[in-house]
Structure 1
């Protein structure tokens, strides 16, 4: 069941006191959670001194990591503990609907909700206030959603720059007000500015993946009725299963499977899913971005689901129709996360095989097998200073360009640490 229809959105504010995050750090609760739920058993921190330098300078810090796994927010608890600090984080609304304990825990670790299906002004204001005050670093994932393609960065959301620049302006005004306050010590304003630290998170398999991957692929092939198959390597088996998965989805939505090049078939199905759904819902396609079109469909479905009158239920759209619309949009976004060259022979690594298998498991079985032990490498880049000046309309944003460039460079370098197949 899609999280879009769990319940109407209601902003969840962060818990500001430090007692709970201190206790969670001291008891190492996220270590246990990551080991049990996500298979992340080890970590390595690199260049953490960059963040320490910003803390020493009194800067207000925005941490901007890539986002490839559900484990990412908790993984960032390790550098926070090493620095002796607590953080706030912007978290998707659905995470507060995974169960009472998860909602209770993530709030007390400093998270607050963001409604990705609409314009959540309250969440944006909370993020700006936190960053302007600078009491704790703020974590925002600029890709917006997880993608399970650890080596490739998805397009970044411009909202990160908006939050950072608005906070920088607000912080500058706070500095001016403090500097004219004769009751403050020597009339000195607080030090520091708003800065962004790009953060690259790379997951590596602790052991060789062959046994784990073979078990998962065996199970998939049995589900499809594939028996007595000829010998193939892990890459070939994974690619064949990805092709079979696409053929099943083509049959579901076209009534037949198509031949031809896999990327072209994927892109054609994405367009079919989005165009058909937009047409049925009467939505105008004003964007070429798959992610934005998916967001628009999900937003419209949620609005219609919760705003319907009893007469509309029978006369307009049924709950089942809206659920099909969201399922189609979600599938388009999932297919969009399969990069063209991720499994080509001269570039494939063990972790790319793991990611592809786990993505298919989530799609087909609803849950990925996380029994394979992983190590998280967390690398920090030097601070990117933020001022309040926006780029001219139509011009590239230099702040977002710098952030994207830093993240891409770090991920490209870290990708080489995975085992080649």
Structure 2
């Protein structure tokens, strides 16, 4: 659950020294973590010289990658190692509340917290100050959250351009030079046969659902059929849990109806009214903010934590269901990585964690630097910085997706 109810938000600053990040790089600790925890065995950095040139020029630098796996912030350590620098990164507050070791490790690698459910001025000021000083490059994920759809770019949030422009304005006043944004395309590629892996993982999911698992991998068509059956079963279970009954029909409209029902159930409890222009992510953010604010504003004797957790779960599930795109398993476009990602999303839903057991490599492609102007775009017009970032990222993600093995 992304909403933290154990304690009120408290900003977690980044570790400013170089001792720990240098030790982490020298002892190859990120390599060990990626290999043992994420099954990412190697990384290939492309166009790293673009990043190196911005460093040499003394720019304030934002690295803006697509966000498809939890490993994304860690694999950027390989890029940092190649150009001989350390990084700072903005990370959601809930990541600092798993255990003390992870909080310790995140800070030592340069992460600091952002409270996504509210107006976190301290986090924004920290990000802007990092760029103004040019102390280290800053990693910001413009999609906001991860969803295991490596081949599809989600809508970008405008927080990246706000931070970049605010820093550019301050640097201009201090005559420190430019702020630039480097789009970074990340693509994970299978190093093993995904067909056999998928058969084993689907058999485990089928047993969990009390089904008789298939005893042989079968054709890719049969594999897709099994994958869709498991997806339908998971959706039906959630429909029963939150609405009382399973519906019928195609997956996509059923998913969309459940998302709407989940959002309305939570919004009604907090007297929230969704605007016609608000998308699911914005409605989820408002629900999370209301859950957190109401919970800590209620007297201990009068609040039921289970009720608030249930509302937060509704928001999380709505956003999670949104991560199953309609076109991901379209015939003629099905790759090994798409099958792996879809199975891992279902594993996260049912087991709480994906089985990171298929060896992968990651391609890290650095885009051209986007200079950030000081002035704001005219009111009502699209932000040209965000448009350039979206265009570059979309082009890179689309191109990199072609490197996966086509199965059907």
Q: Whole-Å Cα distance in 2 between the matches of residues 311 and 12 of structure 1?
A: 29
Contact 1:46-1:380 within 8 A present in 2 as well: yes
CA-CA distance at 1:235 after TM superposition: 1.8
- Match of residue 348, structure 2, among 335, 359, 362: 362
* Partner Cα distance (2:278, 2:17) in 1: 43
Corresponding residue of 1:223? 208
Of 273, 284, 298, the residue aligned with 2:288 is 298
Deviation at 1:346, TM superposition (A): 1.1
The aligned residue for residue 9 of structure 1 is 9
Alignment of 1:94-109 (within 5 A): 94-109=94-109
Note the alpha carbon deviations across 1:105-139, whole angstroms, 9 max, x for none: 11111111111111111000000000111121110
Q: Which residue of the partner structure matches residue 71 of structure 2? A: 71
**Residue deviations 1:296-315 (CA, integer Å, cap 9, x gap):** 111111112222114532xx
> Which residue in the other structure is 2:85 paired with?
85
Task: Look up the match of 1:322.
Answer: 308
Distance 2:350 2:295 in 1: 26
Whole-angstrom distance in 1 between the partners of 2:88 and 2:214: 50
Hey, what's the Cα distance between the residues in 2 that align with 1:163 and 1:401?
16
Secondary structure in structure 2 of the residue aligned to 1:413: helix
Q: 1:234 Cα shift?
A: 2.0
Say if 1:89 and 1:140, in contact at 8 Å, map to a contact too. yes
Q: Is the 8 A contact 1:239 1:343 kept in 2?
A: no
Question: What is the 5 A alignment of 1:9-408?
Answer: 9-175=9-175, 190=176, 192-227=177-212, 233-286=222-275, 287-310=277-300, 312-313=302-303, 318-408=304-394
Secondary structure in structure 2 of the residue aligned to 1:131: helix
Q: 1:6 to 1:374 in 2, by over 3 A?
A: farther
Partner of residue 187, structure 1: none
Give the match's secondary structure for 2:394.
Answer: helix
Query: Is the deviation greater in 219-228 or in 59-68?
Result: 219-228
Structure 2 distance, partners of 1:345, 1:7, is 47
Query: Quick check: 105-114 or 377-386, which moved more?
Result: 105-114
| CA–CA distance in structure 1, aligned partners of residues 114 and 300 of structure 2 | 29
> 1:342 is paired with a residue of what secondary structure?
helix
Cα distance per residue 1:1-55 (max 9 Å; x no partner) = 6552232110011111111111111011111011111111111000111111111
Give the greater-gyration-radius structure (CA): 1
Alpha-carbon separation, structure 2, partners of 1:310 and 1:198 = 46
- Normalising by the residue count of structure 1, what TM-score does the alignment of the two structures yield? 0.93
Equivalent residues of 2:207, 2:213 under 8 A apart: no
Could you tell me how far apart the structure 2 residues matched to 1:399 and 1:379 are? 19
Summarize deviations over 1:61-107 as a string: whole Å, max 9, x none: 11000111110001000010111111111111122112111111111
Structure 2: distance between partners of 1:298 and 1:367: 22
Structure 2: tracts of 5 or more residues without a match: none
SS in structure 2 of the partner of residue 5 of structure 1: coil
SS of the counterpart of 1:10?
Answer: coil
Unaligned 5+ residue runs, structure 1?
A: 176-189
Q: Is the 8 A contact 1:118 1:299 kept in 2?
A: yes
Change (3 A) 1:6 1:353: farther
1:180 match: none
For 1:149 and 1:30, the matched residues in 2 are separated by: 23
In angstroms, what is the RMSD of aligned CA positions?
1.4
SS at match of 2:361: strand
Determine the C-alpha separation between the residues in 2 that align with 1:61 and 1:416: 29
1:233 match: secondary structure:
helix
8 Å contact from structure 2 (residues 21, 108) kept in 1: yes
Runs (4+) off by over 4 Å: 228-232
Deviates more, 1:34-43 or 1:51-60: 51-60
Separation in structure 2 between the aligned mates of residue 234 and residue 136 of structure 1, nearest angstrom: 46
Give yes or no for contact 1:87–1:109 (8 Å, CA) kept in 2: yes
